[in-house]
Each structure stands twice: as structure tokens, then as C-alpha cells.
Amino acid sequence: MRIFSGIRPTGGLHIGNYLGAIKQWIALQEKNECVFCIVDLHAITTPYDPKELQKNILETTAVYLAAGINPDKSVIFVQSEVKEHAELAWLLGTITPMGELSRMTQFKEKSKKHKDYINAGLFNYPVLMAADILLYKAQAVPVGKDQEQHVELARTIAKKFNQNFDPPRLGEAGKIFPEPESILPKVGAKIMSLTDPKKKMSKSDDPKSCISLFDSPENITKKIMSAETDSGKDIVYNVTKKPGISNLLTIYSLLTDKTTQEIEKQFKGKGYGDFKKSLAKVLVDYLEPFRRKQKELQTRDVYVKEILNKGASRAKTIAESTMKEVREKMGLS
């Protein structure tokens, strides 16, 4: 099965990015054909520093590699290096209803957050994401809960393209694009802020609200010990009544492969302090290999760029083949 997923090169990736996406990718690459993309064209739809973009791309690639993505098993590349992404996005935009884009929740959220930076690129973001997926004829997309709506739109666009330009003919299967499915983690598809557990963890909020993959042990411990919890002292998973402690339980569960029920039992009769100390140690130990590998990769820019170049070459081969079919079906060649 071919799988596609991507992540914005906005720098400073946190455990929400890892637990919600990258951790899945590591498992998926063992038995599937995986295409992982650093989506720099998406990154420029919200405020960014052009001087930092290339640095952030290399840092994001280092995260992929440090986390365990294997360039021998998976294709890793930068979106803008494969021009077919933009071409397909334009073509798919001609069959995407405005109404579908108007109901996308991420556009509404980002428009509120960046009131001085509302642009057509942000509005059309989901069409580019659909193009990213369909260009590689991906059958599945590992995403966080907040991106599931975009995969549904990709399915809708694929279905419409197939109906309009590639209907089945006698003796032929038709259907140029598969209709991709979302792959969501069983738990932890959405890791919440440490300071406001009703909001998604984000690196653009208060630095205390998220844990970077490369935070020092001291910083990790400090952030976990000061993380917002709830009234009472029982370590119980209940997202509605105890969102703070439930978020911490989710993180603990995903890092240790224990169920939340097992963790509740482990800390029965103990207070938040004991639980937080244990979680801090789990995080510090878990992230130590990331820090070590990142430190090594920081001095190997040439190696990282070589991986991206090879990945782009492999991605272009697939993309060019798809676009040849698309242009023929749409009467453009």
C-alpha cells in the first residue's frame, strides 16, 4: 500500500507532532511504500521568515531521520522541489466547489489567528493538500484528528475527477485516482497544550505549553511539573471532567505503550506530583536518542541535503507519470 504524509517546516517540532504523526510513520514504513514530504509550499500560507525557511527544512528533515524514518525504506523530499504539486493543485482547483473549501475548519481557525495574513493560498490550502496526496496515488494518509477533514476533501476531489475525466469503460477499470483513507492513531491523534488542555499543543503559543523533541532534560521536567492539572488529586482519565490530567495520561500511554487504565492502576492512591515526576522521567529517557541523533545531524548538512535530493528524484518519477495521465485525461496534451 502506498502512503503519503507531510509536515510543515516551521521549526521546533514538539511531541504533539511526533505522537500524532511521525511515530505512526516509523511503523508504517516497515510494510508499506511510504512517501513523506516536507511541505514548504503550505508553510508560506501563514506568516514566516524567508531567511529561516531553508534552516527549518533541514531541521525538519533531521527530525524525520532522528525519529527513525529510514531513507532507504521511505521517500523523503521537499514539496517545492517537485513542481507537479503546484500544477496538480491548480488543475484540481478547477473542479473543487467553493462551498467545500468554505467549510474547512482550519481556514477559519488560521484566519482568526492571522487576521492580517488571510490569503487565497490559505483558502486553497486543502486543494494543495489533496494534490499532495493524489499526485502519488496514495491509498492512505496518516494524519492527526485536525487534518481528517482535509483527507475527506481529497477523497471527494478524487471521486469527482474520476467521474468527470476517467469514467469506467467497457473492459477497463477507469479510476485514475484511488480515494485515500485516513489513518488515525488509536489515542493521541491530538495532543493538547500543557498550559491550556482544551487547546491543541502548538509551538506558536506560550513556550511552557509544549515540549520540543530536543528540549533539555531540565526544561522537560520543569514544563511537566508546571503543567495544568485539575481539581482533586486522583489520576483518572476523563477528558470532559479532567482534561489536564487526561492529556498527560495520553502522553504517558503513547510513550510507554501502557493503556491509560494500567497507568491509573499504577498511580492509584498517589498524587499529581508523583505522576508528573514519573512522566517527566519517561519523556527525558524517551527523547534522549532524538537529542543525540539531532546533535550528530546538525554537523552533517551535506548528508541531509543528499537524502532530500535523492528523495526528490524518486518523487519526481512518480509525479511525472501521474501528471502525464492527468493532462491526457483533461485534454491538456
Residue 40 neighbours by CB under 8 Å, 6+ apart: 8, 9, 53, 57, 78, 79, 80
| Region 8-13 average pLDDT | 78
Q: DSSP states of 120-147 as a string? A: HHHHTHHHHHHHHHHHTT-SEEE--GGG
Please give the pLDDT value at position 78.
98
Q: What is the pLDDT of residues 274-285, one digit of tens each?
A: 999 999 999 999
Q: Quick check: 67 pLDDT over 80?
A: yes
5 - beta bridge partners? 36
Separation between Cα atoms, residue 18 and residue 286, nearest integer Å: 12
Q: Answer whether 2-189+301-329 and 214-296 agree in fold.
A: no
Take residue 284 and report the three cell numbers written for it: 527525558
What's domain 214-296's architecture? Orthogonal Bundle (1.10)
Q: Where are the domains of the chain?
A: 2-189+301-329, 214-296
203 annotated active-site: yes
**CA–CA separation, 95 and 196 (whole Å):** 40
Q: Are 159 and 179 in contact (CB under 8 A)?
A: yes
Average pLDDT over the chain, rounded to whole? Answer: 91
Distances (CA, A) of 118 to 21, 51, 201, 247: 27, 21, 22, 31
Containing H/E element for 299?
Answer: none
What is the C-alpha to C-alpha distance for residues 71 and 64, in angstroms, rounded to an integer? 9
Q: Cα–Cα distance between 256 and 279 in angstroms, integer?
A: 10
In this model, does residue 202 exceed pLDDT 80? yes
Look at the block and give the residue holding cell 519526481.
316
Nearest to 141 by CA among 7, 9, 13, 40: 7
- pLDDT at position 232, please? 83
For the question of residue 110 being annotated catalytic, the response is yes
Least confident piece of the model among 68-72, 184-188, 221-225 = 184-188
Are the beta carbons of 175 and 166 closer than 8 angstroms? yes
Question: Is the pLDDT at 217 greater than 60, yes or no?
Answer: yes
What superfamily in CATH does domain 2-189+301-329 come from?
HUPs (3.40.50.620)
pLDDT given for residue 281 in this prediction: 97
Residue 55 makes CB contacts below 8 A (sequence gap 6+) with 11
What is the rounded average pLDDT of the residues 70-78? 96
Q: Catalytic annotation on 200?
A: yes
Q: What is the pLDDT of residue 18?
A: 86
Question: Which residue among 73, 145, 175, 203 is the active-site one?
Answer: 203
pLDDT in tens, 269-325: 899 999 999 999 999 999 999 888 888 887 888 999 999 999 999 999 999 999 999
Backbone angles phi, psi at 238, to 5 degrees: -155, 95
Dist. CA 190–CA 202, nearest whole Å: 11
- Provide, rounded to the nearest whole percent, the portion of the chain with pLDDT above 90: 64
Which of 23, 137, 190, 200 is catalytic? The answer is 200
Output the pLDDT for position 106. 77
The three-state secondary structure class of 189 is coil
Contact 167, 127 (CB under 8 A): no
pLDDT of residue 255: 93
